DNA sequence: CCCTGATTCGC
DNA sequence: GCGAATCAGG
């Protein structure tokens, strides 16, 4: 079927149930299937697959169903999709740029401050003051304070401005 | 403040 | 029936 809008097909519902039972949140399910979070919830509700009838108090609204909220007066033009962990999830899910691939940094060369040499990575491990506080200790390029992996982390071209500049 | 869950209403 | 909007809670 080239065209048509197969809203909720059997497979779609299968995935929905699978992910739902898998313990994934509606946001994840929605992102995975490719629909909106409300769509997933709506379908689940329709299928009576709601995860427990939590908050019965929601019933209370039954009496407060006033339409006094006045909604047509709300110019919600910028319907920006919620952002946050979703970005992280999306990043590690598919559009991985590669920062995660930088992960495998040797932590077998950890050493204390005294053991730190001229060409040793000075990336702090753990929290300063902790018993096991130490440094990366990997081979650092000349002039650099960190090894290749940690240098990349230190020079994250992201966020506002540069972090660790100097 | 943001996010998640569930219900209700319009199409 | 589907999905957005809305409400409610953490």
The string of pLDDT tens digits covering residues A125-147 is 655 455 666 777 788 777 777 77
Query: Phi-psi bin for A55: left (phi > 0), alpha (psi -120 to 50), beta?
Result: left
In a domain, A91, yes or no: yes
A104 contacts A153 by C-beta, under 8 angstroms: no
Distance of alpha carbon A108 from the chain centroid: 29
Domain count for chain A, please give it.
Answer: 2
**Which domain covers residue A141, as residue numbers?**
83-165
Phi, psi of A125 (to 5 degrees): -110, 140
A89 CB less than 7 Å from any atom of strand B: no
Rounded CA-CA distance A158/A163 in Å is 9
Stronger pLDDT, A165 or A20, i.e. the higher one: A20
pLDDT digits (tens, 9 = 90+) for A66-117: 444 445 444 545 554 556 655 555 544 444 454 445 556 666 777 777 777 7
A132 contacts A85 by C-beta, under 8 angstroms: no
Asked, for residue A71, whether it belongs to a domain, the answer is no
Smallest Cα–C1' distance to nucleotide B8: which residue has it?
A65
Q: Indicate whether A110 and A50 sit together in one domain.
A: no
Q: Contacts for A8-12 with beta carbons within 8 Å, 24 or more apart?
A: A8/A43
Beta strand segments in chain A, E: 124-125, 134-135
Q: Residue A99 has what pLDDT?
A: 47
A151 and A94 housed in the same domain: yes
pLDDT of residue A153: 60
Least confident residue range of A38-42, A59-63, A153-157? A59-63
**Measured in Å, how far apart are chain A's first and last C-alpha atoms?**
58
List the structure tokens of A92. 């590690």
Beta bridge partners of A143: none
What's phi and psi for A158, nearest 5 deg?
A: -135, -175
A10 touches strand C (CB under 7 A): no
Per-residue burial over A118-127, b = 16 or more CB atoms within 10 Å of its CB, e = otherwise: eebbbbebee
Whether any strand B atom is under 7 angstroms from the Cβ of A74: the reply reads no
Nucleotides of strand C under 7 angstroms from a protein beta carbon? 1-9
pLDDT of residue A41: 93
Span A29-55, pLDDT tens digits:
887 788 899 999 999 999 888 876 554
Whether residues A91 and A27 share a domain: the answer is no
A37, A100: one domain: no
A96, A146: one domain: yes
Q: Is the CB of A97 under 7 A from strand C?
A: no
User: Which nt is closest to the CA of A46, judged by C1'?
Assistant: C1
Structure tokens at A11: 């497979």
Residue A125, beta-bridge partner list:
A134
Nearest residue (Cα to C1') for C8?
A58
pLDDT of residue A154: 59
Same domain, A38 and A94: no
* Same structural domain, A91 and A148: yes
What is the spatial distance between Cα A71 and Cα A45, in angstroms, rounded to a whole number?
24
Residue nearest to nucleotide C9 (CA to C1'): A55
Q: Which of the nucleotides lies closest to A58 (Cα–C1')?
A: C8
Residue A75 lies in a domain: no
């Amino acid at each position: 079927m080239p065209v048509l809008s197969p809203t909720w097909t059997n497979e779609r519902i299968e995935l929905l149930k699978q992910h739902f039972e898998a313990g994934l949140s509606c946001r994840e399910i929605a992102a995975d299937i490719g629909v909106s979070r409300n769509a997933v919830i709506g379908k689940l509700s329709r299928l009576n697959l709601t995860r427990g009838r939590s908050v019965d108090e929601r019933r209370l609204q039954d009496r407060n169903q006033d339409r006094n909220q006045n909604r047509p007066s709300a110019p919600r033009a910028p319907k920006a999709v919620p952002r946050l962990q979703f970005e992280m999830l999306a990043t590690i899910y598919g559009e991985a740029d590669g920062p995660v691939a930088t992960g495998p940094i040797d932590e077998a060369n950890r050493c204390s401050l005294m053991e730190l040499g001229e060409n040793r990575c000075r990336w702090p491990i753990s929290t300063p003051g902790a018993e096991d506080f130490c440094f990366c200790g990997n081979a650092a390029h000349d002039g650099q304070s960190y090894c290749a992996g940690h240098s990349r982390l230190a020079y994250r071209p992201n966020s506002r401005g540069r972090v660790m500049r100097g």
